[in-house]
Amino acid sequence: MIHSATLTLQHTLSPIADNNRLRLFSGSANVPLSQEVARYLGMDLGPMVRKRFADGELYIQIQESIRGCDVYLIQPTCHPVNDNLMELLIMIDACRRASARQITAVIPYYGYARADRKTAGRESITAKLVANLIVKAGASRILAMDLHSAQIQGYFDIPFDHVYGSPVILDYLASKQLSDIVVVSPDVGGVARARAFAKKLDDAPLAIIDKRRQAHNVAEVMNVIGDVKGKTAVLVDDMIDTAGTISEAAKILRKEGARQVYACATHAVFSPPAIERLSSGVLEEVIVTNTIPVAEQDRFKQLTMLSVANVLGETIWRVHEDSSVSSMFR
């Protein structure tokens, strides 16, 4: 079940003044989220033909005039990553060739973001490669949520609005009235994210997991920096992929005396064997958002999904009205 966010976004703007120029389209990656965004904006998703040729090639046609319009294309590049990325590129190209005035790629989850720099010889920086592809396809603006690395914004030479799912998660945690909270970063690289999260939780104390990674998707947890004994530990990350990091972190937090352990992440990537690890009982609750759809058969009793449709819808509203986006998160 997806919980509607109780986060209240205050409209300080008049209704969209030039609604005839605003168009909203959805890729196939997360149609339910796109529909929620459309409902928030009080409009319908634009009509589109999407089909495949016998060899798997994608065909897309926009089925209404968008000449001179501001077009917003909602498409997270989640599993199947290559198909969804290619679909986004084709959608952008179709809109550019249809003479859209401005094309905004709304990417709730930005895939290929983990390779954001070279850590060894002869590696590709895929985060930059994807940025180049999106810009070359014809996007004039990007709207993304909780990038794996904030520096990815700098890979684009077009306007970039980076928004966050944390207000929705924080609002939900506040409703649970947890006591003696300590916010835990599952690795050193996530300290800035965890610190910002802790500040919003009445300056909760911070702990860090010292982790040594032996290979991709394999994590070895070593020890905890900080006091978690007798406390409610809240693990904070941008994504949960195979859940190796989160599950190992939860185990060592319990070993160090944490009373309860919660996991919070914006993106529920959930590659196997994530479901088995997360539902094993080491976590009281796994709190994620619906930037990535989770199939019904992959839901488990500890899972709570929160909707970020209001955040994305409000951001689209403000971008279209040339209003401040950053003020939403102050």
**End-to-end CA, the chain:** 29
Assigned token pair, 81: 């990553």
From the CA atom positions of the chain, what is the Rg in Å? 20
Assigned token pair, 12: 């300080």
- The whole-angstrom distance between residue 9's C-alpha and the CA centroid of its chain comes to 19
The upper half-sphere exposure of residue 97, i.e. CA atoms within 13 Å in the direction of its Cβ, equals: 11
**Which residue in the list 118, 136, 200, 211 is annotated as catalytic?**
211
Distance CA 89, CA 109 (A): 15
Position of tokens 């986060």?
7
Q: What angle do CA 195, 316, 147 make, to 5 degrees?
A: 35
Active site residue 211: yes
CB 89 within 8 A of CB 133: yes
- Number of Cβ atoms within 10 Å of the Cβ of 163: 22
Assigned token pair, 236: 């904070």
CB 52 within 8 A of CB 59: yes
Three-state secondary-structure class, residue 276: helix
Q: What angle do CA 293, 75, 294 make, to 5 degrees?
A: 5
- The whole-angstrom distance between residue 149's C-alpha and the CA centroid of its chain comes to 12
CB 112 within 8 A of CB 101: no
**Residues with catalytic roles:** 211
